[in-house]
Amino acid sequence: MAKKKKVSLLKKAGRKAGKKSKKKIKKTRMKPMPKKTGKSKTRGSTSKKSASAKKISAGTRKIRLDHITKIEGHAKLSVNIEDGKVKKAKLDVYESARFFESLVLCRRYDETSPLTSRICGVCSPSHALTSILATENAFGVKVSRQTEILRELLLYGTIFQNHAVHLFVLALPDYLGYESVIEMASKYKDEVLMGLKIKQLGNELVTVVGGREIHPITAVVGGFSIIPEQRRLDGLLEKFRSMRPYAVKAVELFSKLKYPYFRRKSQAFALVNDTHSFYNGEINCVGGVCIPEEEYQNVFEEHIKKGSSAKVVLYRGKPFFNGALARLLVNPEGLMPEAKKYLKLVDFNNPFHNNLAQAIEILHCFDRIIGILESLRVVHEDPVPFTPKAGRGIAYTEAPRGLLVHDYTYDDRGHVMKSNIITPTAQNLKQMEDDLKKFLPPLLDKPQAFIKLQIEMLIRAYDPCFSCSAHFLELKISKK
Protein backbone atom coordinates (compact mmCIF):
# COMPACT_ATOMS: atom_id res chain seq x y z
CA MET A 1 0.00 0.00 0.00
CA ALA A 2 2.81 2.39 0.84
CA LYS A 3 4.40 1.92 -2.57
CA LYS A 4 1.14 2.68 -4.41
CA LYS A 5 0.63 5.79 -2.37
CA LYS A 6 4.10 6.96 -3.20
CA VAL A 7 3.60 6.51 -6.94
CA SER A 8 0.43 8.56 -6.83
CA LEU A 9 2.23 11.30 -4.95
CA LEU A 10 4.93 11.31 -7.56
CA LYS A 11 2.43 11.64 -10.38
CA LYS A 12 0.68 14.39 -8.50
CA ALA A 13 3.97 16.20 -8.06
CA GLY A 14 4.67 15.81 -11.76
CA ARG A 15 1.39 17.55 -12.64
CA LYS A 16 2.44 20.42 -10.44
CA ALA A 17 5.82 20.91 -12.10
CA GLY A 18 7.12 24.40 -11.77
CA LYS A 19 4.97 25.15 -8.70
CA LYS A 20 6.51 25.56 -5.25
CA SER A 21 4.78 25.08 -1.93
CA LYS A 22 4.00 28.22 0.02
CA LYS A 23 5.99 27.26 3.06
CA LYS A 24 9.19 26.43 1.22
CA ILE A 25 9.34 29.36 -1.15
CA LYS A 26 9.93 31.97 1.50
CA LYS A 27 13.51 30.68 1.60
CA THR A 28 14.10 32.19 -1.87
CA ARG A 29 16.90 34.72 -1.57
CA MET A 30 15.66 37.83 -3.34
CA LYS A 31 16.34 41.48 -2.88
CA PRO A 32 13.21 43.19 -1.55
CA MET A 33 11.01 45.02 -4.04
CA PRO A 34 10.42 48.76 -3.56
CA LYS A 35 7.91 49.47 -0.83
CA LYS A 36 5.35 50.89 -3.21
CA THR A 37 4.87 47.49 -4.82
CA GLY A 38 4.47 45.59 -1.58
CA LYS A 39 6.58 42.70 -0.37
CA SER A 40 5.53 39.15 -1.10
CA LYS A 41 6.30 36.51 1.50
CA THR A 42 5.33 33.45 -0.49
CA ARG A 43 5.15 32.38 -4.09
CA GLY A 44 1.69 31.02 -3.62
CA SER A 45 0.04 34.15 -2.21
CA THR A 46 -3.16 35.19 -3.95
CA SER A 47 -3.84 38.50 -2.22
CA LYS A 48 -4.22 41.54 -4.50
CA LYS A 49 -1.33 43.35 -2.85
CA SER A 50 0.98 40.34 -3.16
CA ALA A 51 -0.05 39.62 -6.74
CA SER A 52 0.64 43.17 -7.83
CA ALA A 53 4.05 43.04 -6.18
CA LYS A 54 5.02 39.85 -7.90
CA LYS A 55 3.99 40.68 -11.45
CA ILE A 56 6.28 42.42 -13.92
CA SER A 57 4.15 45.47 -14.54
CA ALA A 58 4.63 48.02 -17.30
CA GLY A 59 6.32 50.39 -14.86
CA THR A 60 8.87 47.87 -13.63
CA ARG A 61 12.34 48.72 -14.91
CA LYS A 62 14.42 46.03 -13.29
CA ILE A 63 14.10 42.84 -11.28
CA ARG A 64 17.25 41.44 -9.73
CA LEU A 65 17.45 37.94 -8.31
CA ASP A 66 20.64 36.85 -6.61
CA HIS A 67 22.09 33.44 -5.86
CA ILE A 68 19.93 31.26 -8.04
CA THR A 69 21.23 27.90 -6.90
CA LYS A 70 21.47 24.42 -8.40
CA ILE A 71 23.63 25.33 -11.36
CA GLU A 72 27.39 25.19 -11.84
CA GLY A 73 29.27 28.46 -12.07
CA HIS A 74 28.63 32.20 -11.96
CA ALA A 75 26.59 34.09 -14.54
CA LYS A 76 23.97 36.78 -14.81
CA LEU A 77 20.96 37.06 -17.05
CA SER A 78 19.60 40.37 -18.34
CA VAL A 79 16.26 40.49 -20.13
CA ASN A 80 15.09 43.61 -21.99
CA ILE A 81 11.39 43.93 -22.73
CA GLU A 82 9.89 46.61 -24.98
CA ASP A 83 6.18 46.92 -25.72
CA GLY A 84 5.51 43.50 -24.29
CA LYS A 85 8.15 41.80 -26.41
CA VAL A 86 11.43 40.28 -25.29
CA LYS A 87 14.05 42.17 -27.29
CA LYS A 88 17.13 40.68 -25.72
CA ALA A 89 18.06 37.91 -23.32
CA LYS A 90 21.74 38.04 -22.45
CA LEU A 91 23.66 35.50 -20.39
CA ASP A 92 26.96 36.90 -19.17
CA VAL A 93 29.49 34.64 -17.49
CA TYR A 94 31.67 36.58 -15.12
CA GLU A 95 33.90 33.85 -13.81
CA SER A 96 37.51 34.83 -13.39
CA ALA A 97 39.61 33.87 -16.40
CA ARG A 98 41.14 30.44 -15.79
CA PHE A 99 43.83 30.44 -18.50
CA PHE A 100 43.96 26.68 -19.07
CA GLU A 101 44.79 27.14 -22.74
CA SER A 102 47.72 29.30 -21.65
CA LEU A 103 48.74 27.06 -18.76
CA VAL A 104 49.62 24.21 -21.10
CA LEU A 105 51.81 26.33 -23.38
CA CYS A 106 55.46 25.22 -23.40
CA ARG A 107 54.48 22.19 -21.28
CA ARG A 108 55.42 18.64 -22.19
CA TYR A 109 52.86 16.39 -23.85
CA ASP A 110 52.47 14.30 -20.68
CA GLU A 111 51.45 17.36 -18.65
CA THR A 112 48.46 18.45 -20.73
CA SER A 113 46.10 15.73 -19.53
CA PRO A 114 46.69 16.19 -15.76
CA LEU A 115 46.41 19.96 -16.15
CA THR A 116 43.29 20.13 -18.31
CA SER A 117 41.40 17.56 -16.24
CA ARG A 118 41.27 20.31 -13.59
CA ILE A 119 38.95 22.32 -15.81
CA CYS A 120 36.08 20.33 -14.30
CA GLY A 121 36.04 17.90 -11.41
CA VAL A 122 32.86 16.12 -12.53
CA CYS A 123 33.98 15.91 -16.16
CA SER A 124 37.67 15.35 -15.41
CA PRO A 125 37.83 11.96 -17.21
CA SER A 126 36.41 13.62 -20.33
CA HIS A 127 39.01 16.37 -20.35
CA ALA A 128 41.83 13.96 -19.50
CA LEU A 129 40.99 11.53 -22.30
CA THR A 130 40.24 14.20 -24.90
CA SER A 131 43.61 15.77 -24.17
CA ILE A 132 45.33 12.38 -24.52
CA LEU A 133 43.51 11.65 -27.78
CA ALA A 134 44.55 15.00 -29.27
CA THR A 135 48.17 14.33 -28.31
CA GLU A 136 48.04 10.84 -29.83
CA ASN A 137 46.62 12.29 -33.03
CA ALA A 138 49.46 14.81 -33.16
CA PHE A 139 52.13 12.11 -32.74
CA GLY A 140 50.40 9.44 -34.83
CA VAL A 141 49.97 7.02 -31.92
CA LYS A 142 47.60 4.07 -32.44
CA VAL A 143 46.43 2.36 -29.26
CA SER A 144 45.21 -1.20 -28.67
CA ARG A 145 41.59 -2.29 -28.70
CA GLN A 146 41.82 -3.02 -24.97
CA THR A 147 42.87 0.58 -24.35
CA GLU A 148 39.90 1.86 -26.34
CA ILE A 149 37.49 -0.32 -24.35
CA LEU A 150 38.89 0.78 -20.99
CA ARG A 151 38.70 4.42 -22.05
CA GLU A 152 35.10 3.92 -23.11
CA LEU A 153 34.33 2.53 -19.65
CA LEU A 154 36.03 5.52 -18.05
CA LEU A 155 33.75 7.90 -19.92
CA TYR A 156 30.66 5.90 -18.97
CA GLY A 157 31.70 6.40 -15.37
CA THR A 158 31.76 10.17 -15.74
CA ILE A 159 28.32 10.06 -17.38
CA PHE A 160 26.96 8.46 -14.20
CA GLN A 161 28.79 10.97 -12.02
CA ASN A 162 27.34 13.94 -13.86
CA HIS A 163 23.86 12.78 -14.87
CA ALA A 164 22.98 11.43 -11.42
CA VAL A 165 23.89 14.71 -9.70
CA HIS A 166 22.18 16.87 -12.29
CA LEU A 167 18.97 14.86 -12.44
CA PHE A 168 18.40 13.92 -8.81
CA VAL A 169 20.10 16.76 -6.93
CA LEU A 170 19.76 19.82 -9.16
CA ALA A 171 16.76 19.29 -11.47
CA LEU A 172 14.28 16.98 -9.73
CA PRO A 173 13.47 19.25 -6.74
CA ASP A 174 11.97 21.82 -9.13
CA TYR A 175 9.51 19.31 -10.55
CA LEU A 176 8.47 17.92 -7.18
CA GLY A 177 7.98 21.34 -5.61
CA TYR A 178 11.04 21.67 -3.39
CA GLU A 179 13.78 24.24 -2.94
CA SER A 180 16.54 21.67 -2.56
CA VAL A 181 17.30 17.98 -2.54
CA ILE A 182 17.64 18.14 1.26
CA GLU A 183 14.01 19.18 1.62
CA MET A 184 12.91 16.73 -1.06
CA ALA A 185 14.58 13.83 0.76
CA SER A 186 12.10 14.02 3.63
CA LYS A 187 9.33 12.75 1.34
CA TYR A 188 11.22 11.21 -1.58
CA LYS A 189 14.02 9.45 0.22
CA ASP A 190 14.08 6.48 -2.16
CA GLU A 191 14.47 8.72 -5.21
CA VAL A 192 17.34 10.62 -3.61
CA LEU A 193 19.08 7.40 -2.57
CA MET A 194 18.62 6.05 -6.08
CA GLY A 195 20.46 9.04 -7.53
CA LEU A 196 23.24 8.83 -4.97
CA LYS A 197 23.75 5.11 -5.58
CA ILE A 198 24.04 5.67 -9.34
CA LYS A 199 26.55 8.42 -8.64
CA GLN A 200 28.50 6.12 -6.30
CA LEU A 201 28.57 3.40 -8.94
CA GLY A 202 30.05 5.90 -11.39
CA ASN A 203 32.69 6.79 -8.82
CA GLU A 204 33.62 3.13 -8.44
CA LEU A 205 33.91 2.61 -12.19
CA VAL A 206 36.17 5.65 -12.60
CA THR A 207 38.26 4.52 -9.62
CA VAL A 208 38.78 0.96 -10.91
CA VAL A 209 39.72 2.07 -14.43
CA GLY A 210 41.21 5.51 -13.81
CA GLY A 211 42.90 5.06 -10.44
CA ARG A 212 40.74 7.46 -8.42
CA GLU A 213 37.30 9.05 -8.43
CA ILE A 214 38.29 12.34 -10.09
CA HIS A 215 41.27 13.42 -12.18
CA PRO A 216 42.19 9.90 -13.37
CA ILE A 217 45.90 9.07 -13.29
CA THR A 218 46.22 5.72 -15.07
CA ALA A 219 45.22 6.91 -18.56
CA VAL A 220 48.31 8.12 -20.42
CA VAL A 221 49.40 8.79 -23.99
CA GLY A 222 49.63 5.38 -25.65
CA GLY A 223 47.44 3.43 -23.23
CA PHE A 224 47.29 2.89 -19.46
CA SER A 225 50.09 3.00 -16.93
CA ILE A 226 48.20 0.44 -14.81
CA ILE A 227 45.70 -2.09 -16.15
CA PRO A 228 42.75 -2.69 -13.79
CA GLU A 229 42.62 -6.09 -12.12
CA GLN A 230 40.18 -8.58 -13.61
CA ARG A 231 38.70 -9.40 -10.21
CA ARG A 232 37.77 -5.75 -9.68
CA LEU A 233 36.14 -5.57 -13.09
CA ASP A 234 34.20 -8.76 -12.31
CA GLY A 235 33.07 -7.20 -9.04
CA LEU A 236 31.80 -4.17 -10.95
CA LEU A 237 29.87 -6.43 -13.30
CA GLU A 238 27.89 -7.91 -10.41
CA LYS A 239 27.12 -4.44 -9.05
CA PHE A 240 25.90 -3.18 -12.41
CA ARG A 241 23.69 -6.22 -12.83
CA SER A 242 22.16 -5.84 -9.39
CA MET A 243 21.64 -2.07 -9.71
CA ARG A 244 20.25 -2.03 -13.24
CA PRO A 245 16.64 -1.72 -11.95
CA TYR A 246 17.61 1.73 -10.67
CA ALA A 247 18.31 2.81 -14.24
CA VAL A 248 14.88 1.64 -15.38
CA LYS A 249 13.22 3.43 -12.45
CA ALA A 250 15.12 6.61 -13.29
CA VAL A 251 13.79 6.64 -16.85
CA GLU A 252 10.26 5.90 -15.64
CA LEU A 253 10.50 8.72 -13.10
CA PHE A 254 11.74 11.37 -15.52
CA SER A 255 9.35 10.28 -18.26
CA LYS A 256 6.38 10.97 -15.97
CA LEU A 257 7.36 14.50 -14.92
CA LYS A 258 5.27 17.38 -16.21
CA TYR A 259 7.70 19.45 -18.26
CA PRO A 260 6.89 23.07 -19.15
CA TYR A 261 5.45 23.31 -22.63
CA PHE A 262 7.96 24.91 -24.97
CA ARG A 263 8.92 23.95 -28.49
CA ARG A 264 11.46 25.41 -30.87
CA LYS A 265 13.53 24.19 -33.79
CA SER A 266 17.30 24.32 -33.76
CA GLN A 267 20.36 22.57 -35.09
CA ALA A 268 21.85 19.75 -33.01
CA PHE A 269 25.37 18.32 -33.15
CA ALA A 270 26.76 15.12 -31.66
CA LEU A 271 29.24 12.34 -32.33
CA VAL A 272 27.91 9.48 -34.43
CA ASN A 273 29.08 5.89 -33.96
CA ASP A 274 27.64 2.39 -33.86
CA THR A 275 27.31 2.06 -30.08
CA HIS A 276 26.36 5.55 -28.81
CA SER A 277 29.84 5.67 -27.34
CA PHE A 278 31.14 8.90 -25.82
CA TYR A 279 34.72 8.09 -26.82
CA ASN A 280 34.84 8.31 -30.59
CA GLY A 281 32.91 9.11 -33.75
CA GLU A 282 32.40 11.89 -36.25
CA ILE A 283 30.60 15.16 -35.56
CA ASN A 284 27.24 15.04 -37.32
CA CYS A 285 24.00 16.93 -37.23
CA VAL A 286 20.49 16.01 -38.29
CA GLY A 287 20.60 15.77 -42.05
CA GLY A 288 23.94 14.02 -42.12
CA VAL A 289 26.36 16.97 -42.21
CA CYS A 290 29.73 15.52 -41.21
CA ILE A 291 32.49 17.76 -39.88
CA PRO A 292 36.04 16.35 -40.09
CA GLU A 293 38.20 17.04 -37.04
CA GLU A 294 40.57 19.35 -38.88
CA GLU A 295 37.66 21.42 -40.27
CA TYR A 296 35.94 22.35 -37.00
CA GLN A 297 37.32 25.91 -36.94
CA ASN A 298 35.96 26.53 -40.44
CA VAL A 299 32.36 25.83 -39.44
CA PHE A 300 32.25 26.56 -35.70
CA GLU A 301 32.87 30.24 -34.99
CA GLU A 302 34.26 31.16 -31.57
CA HIS A 303 33.57 34.58 -30.07
CA ILE A 304 34.22 36.29 -26.75
CA LYS A 305 31.14 38.13 -25.55
CA LYS A 306 31.52 41.65 -24.27
CA GLY A 307 31.19 41.66 -20.49
CA SER A 308 31.63 37.89 -20.29
CA SER A 309 34.57 35.57 -19.67
CA ALA A 310 33.06 32.67 -21.62
CA LYS A 311 33.39 31.71 -25.25
CA VAL A 312 30.33 31.62 -27.47
CA VAL A 313 30.37 29.14 -30.34
CA LEU A 314 28.12 29.41 -33.40
CA TYR A 315 27.59 27.14 -36.38
CA ARG A 316 27.91 29.29 -39.50
CA GLY A 317 26.68 32.28 -37.52
CA LYS A 318 23.72 30.52 -35.91
CA PRO A 319 23.14 28.94 -32.49
CA PHE A 320 22.97 25.19 -31.99
CA PHE A 321 22.77 22.78 -29.09
CA ASN A 322 24.56 19.67 -27.93
CA GLY A 323 24.34 17.29 -24.98
CA ALA A 324 22.15 14.29 -24.18
CA LEU A 325 19.11 15.51 -26.13
CA ALA A 326 21.26 16.19 -29.21
CA ARG A 327 22.94 12.78 -28.92
CA LEU A 328 19.63 10.93 -28.90
CA LEU A 329 18.40 12.99 -31.85
CA VAL A 330 21.52 12.68 -34.00
CA ASN A 331 22.62 9.15 -33.07
CA PRO A 332 19.54 7.14 -32.02
CA GLU A 333 20.59 3.95 -33.79
CA GLY A 334 23.53 3.45 -31.46
CA LEU A 335 21.36 3.08 -28.35
CA MET A 336 20.93 -0.23 -26.57
CA PRO A 337 17.50 -1.82 -27.28
CA GLU A 338 15.87 -1.13 -23.89
CA ALA A 339 16.94 2.52 -23.91
CA LYS A 340 15.80 2.96 -27.51
CA LYS A 341 12.22 2.05 -26.53
CA TYR A 342 11.91 5.31 -24.60
CA LEU A 343 12.79 7.56 -27.54
CA LYS A 344 9.10 7.85 -28.43
CA LEU A 345 8.58 9.77 -25.17
CA VAL A 346 11.14 12.45 -26.02
CA ASP A 347 10.17 15.79 -27.57
CA PHE A 348 13.38 16.79 -29.32
CA ASN A 349 12.12 20.35 -29.83
CA ASN A 350 11.65 20.90 -26.08
CA PRO A 351 14.95 21.62 -24.28
CA PHE A 352 13.39 20.63 -20.95
CA HIS A 353 13.46 17.06 -22.26
CA ASN A 354 17.24 17.06 -21.93
CA ASN A 355 16.50 15.77 -18.43
CA LEU A 356 14.66 12.75 -19.82
CA ALA A 357 17.40 12.26 -22.40
CA GLN A 358 20.01 12.04 -19.64
CA ALA A 359 17.94 9.43 -17.81
CA ILE A 360 17.71 7.37 -21.01
CA GLU A 361 21.48 7.62 -21.39
CA ILE A 362 21.95 6.24 -17.88
CA LEU A 363 19.98 3.13 -18.87
CA HIS A 364 21.94 2.84 -22.12
CA CYS A 365 25.23 3.06 -20.23
CA PHE A 366 24.16 0.36 -17.76
CA ASP A 367 23.43 -2.09 -20.56
CA ARG A 368 26.52 -1.15 -22.54
CA ILE A 369 28.79 -1.54 -19.50
CA ILE A 370 27.28 -4.91 -18.59
CA GLY A 371 27.86 -6.12 -22.14
CA ILE A 372 31.48 -4.95 -22.13
CA LEU A 373 32.32 -6.40 -18.72
CA GLU A 374 30.77 -9.77 -19.56
CA SER A 375 33.25 -10.29 -22.40
CA LEU A 376 36.28 -8.26 -21.28
CA ARG A 377 39.33 -10.24 -20.17
CA VAL A 378 42.15 -7.81 -19.60
CA VAL A 379 45.77 -8.65 -20.29
CA HIS A 380 48.87 -6.84 -19.19
CA GLU A 381 50.18 -4.44 -21.80
CA ASP A 382 52.46 -1.42 -21.69
CA PRO A 383 51.58 1.89 -23.34
CA VAL A 384 52.41 2.00 -27.04
CA PRO A 385 55.95 3.37 -27.53
CA PHE A 386 56.28 6.56 -29.57
CA THR A 387 58.57 9.48 -30.26
CA PRO A 388 57.25 13.04 -29.85
CA LYS A 389 57.29 15.05 -33.04
CA ALA A 390 56.09 18.37 -34.37
CA GLY A 391 52.46 18.33 -35.39
CA ARG A 392 48.89 19.25 -34.63
CA GLY A 393 46.34 16.99 -32.98
CA ILE A 394 42.60 17.53 -32.64
CA ALA A 395 40.18 15.30 -30.74
CA TYR A 396 36.45 15.22 -30.04
CA THR A 397 34.68 13.30 -27.32
CA GLU A 398 31.21 13.51 -25.82
CA ALA A 399 31.45 14.92 -22.31
CA PRO A 400 28.28 14.52 -20.20
CA ARG A 401 27.06 17.97 -21.23
CA GLY A 402 27.99 17.68 -24.90
CA LEU A 403 30.81 17.93 -27.43
CA LEU A 404 34.30 18.56 -26.09
CA VAL A 405 37.18 19.65 -28.33
CA HIS A 406 40.90 19.70 -27.50
CA ASP A 407 43.36 21.02 -30.09
CA TYR A 408 47.14 21.11 -29.57
CA THR A 409 50.09 22.06 -31.75
CA TYR A 410 53.44 20.56 -30.63
CA ASP A 411 57.03 21.33 -31.51
CA ASP A 412 59.57 18.59 -32.28
CA ARG A 413 60.35 18.15 -28.56
CA GLY A 414 56.73 17.46 -27.68
CA HIS A 415 56.08 20.84 -26.08
CA VAL A 416 52.76 22.62 -26.60
CA MET A 417 53.06 25.68 -28.84
CA LYS A 418 49.35 26.38 -29.32
CA SER A 419 46.14 25.11 -27.75
CA ASN A 420 42.39 25.51 -28.06
CA ILE A 421 39.66 23.95 -25.92
CA ILE A 422 35.92 24.20 -26.59
CA THR A 423 33.51 23.06 -23.89
CA PRO A 424 29.85 22.03 -24.30
CA THR A 425 28.43 25.01 -22.42
CA ALA A 426 30.22 27.45 -24.74
CA GLN A 427 28.38 25.78 -27.61
CA ASN A 428 25.02 25.89 -25.82
CA LEU A 429 25.25 29.46 -24.54
CA LYS A 430 23.73 31.27 -27.53
CA GLN A 431 21.01 28.63 -27.86
CA MET A 432 20.04 29.19 -24.23
CA GLU A 433 19.68 32.93 -24.89
CA ASP A 434 17.54 32.33 -27.97
CA ASP A 435 15.37 29.85 -26.09
CA LEU A 436 14.77 32.36 -23.31
CA LYS A 437 13.65 35.01 -25.81
CA LYS A 438 11.05 32.62 -27.21
CA PHE A 439 10.06 31.04 -23.90
CA LEU A 440 9.41 34.19 -21.86
CA PRO A 441 6.69 36.17 -23.74
CA PRO A 442 3.72 34.01 -22.63
CA LEU A 443 4.94 34.28 -19.02
CA LEU A 444 5.28 38.05 -18.71
CA ASP A 445 1.93 38.53 -16.96
CA LYS A 446 2.67 35.78 -14.45
CA PRO A 447 3.92 36.38 -10.89
CA GLN A 448 7.57 37.29 -10.63
CA ALA A 449 8.50 34.22 -8.59
CA PHE A 450 6.89 31.94 -11.18
CA ILE A 451 8.85 33.60 -14.01
CA LYS A 452 12.07 33.27 -12.03
CA LEU A 453 11.49 29.58 -11.44
CA GLN A 454 10.66 28.89 -15.08
CA ILE A 455 13.83 30.68 -16.22
CA GLU A 456 15.91 28.68 -13.77
CA MET A 457 14.35 25.41 -14.90
CA LEU A 458 15.05 26.15 -18.57
CA ILE A 459 18.68 27.05 -17.95
CA ARG A 460 19.14 24.10 -15.61
CA ALA A 461 17.73 21.74 -18.25
CA TYR A 462 20.85 22.38 -20.32
CA ASP A 463 22.97 21.22 -17.37
CA PRO A 464 25.40 24.11 -17.92
CA CYS A 465 28.80 24.32 -16.31
CA PHE A 466 29.86 27.96 -16.26
CA SER A 467 32.87 26.90 -14.24
CA CYS A 468 32.74 24.28 -11.53
CA SER A 469 31.10 26.03 -8.64
CA ALA A 470 27.46 25.90 -7.64
CA HIS A 471 25.35 28.89 -8.52
CA PHE A 472 24.02 31.02 -11.31
CA LEU A 473 23.65 34.64 -10.26
CA GLU A 474 21.63 37.73 -10.85
CA LEU A 475 18.58 38.14 -13.04
CA LYS A 476 17.70 41.59 -14.41
CA ILE A 477 14.48 42.24 -16.30
CA SER A 478 13.82 45.74 -17.63
CA LYS A 479 10.85 47.08 -19.56
CA LYS A 480 10.27 50.08 -21.76
The closest alpha carbon to 270, from 328, 316, 350, belongs to 328
Total of domains in the chain: 1
Of 208-212, 229-233, 373-377, 441-445, least confident by mean pLDDT is 441-445
Residue 18 has pLDDT above 80, yes or no: no
Give the CATH number for residue 290.
1.10.645.10
Q: What value does the mean pLDDT take over residues 41-62?
A: 40
2 in a domain, yes or no? no
What's the pLDDT score for residue 337?
97
433 in a domain, yes or no? no
What does the pLDDT look like over 152-207, one tens digit per residue? 999 999 999 999 999 999 999 999 999 999 999 999 999 999 999 999 999 999 99
Q: Please give the single-letter amino acid code of residue 14.
A: G
Residues facing 399 on adjacent strands: 402
Range of the domain at 211: 100-428
Mean pLDDT over each residue of the chain, to the nearest integer: 83
Q: What value does the mean pLDDT take over residues 447-451?
A: 87
- This prediction has a pTM of 0.83
434 in a domain, yes or no? no
Q: What is the DSSP letter of 31?
A: P
171 in a domain, yes or no? yes
Q: What value does the mean pLDDT take over residues 142-154?
A: 98
In which band, very low, low, confident or very high, does the pLDDT at 375 lie, cut at 50, 70 and 90?
very high
In which band, very low, low, confident or very high, does the pLDDT at 24 lie, cut at 50, 70 and 90?
very low
309 in a domain, yes or no? yes
Exposed e or buried b for every residue in 449-459, given b needs 16+ CB within 10 A? bbbbbbbbbbb
270 in a domain, yes or no? yes
What's the pLDDT score for residue 20?
41
Burial of 239 (0-12, 13-18, 19+ CB in 10 A): middle
The closest alpha carbon to 396, from 246, 479, 294, belongs to 294
359 in a domain, yes or no? yes
Of 83-87, 200-204, 387-391, least confident by mean pLDDT is 83-87
Which helix (H) or strand (E) segment is 224 a member of? Answer: strand 223-224
334 in a domain, yes or no? yes
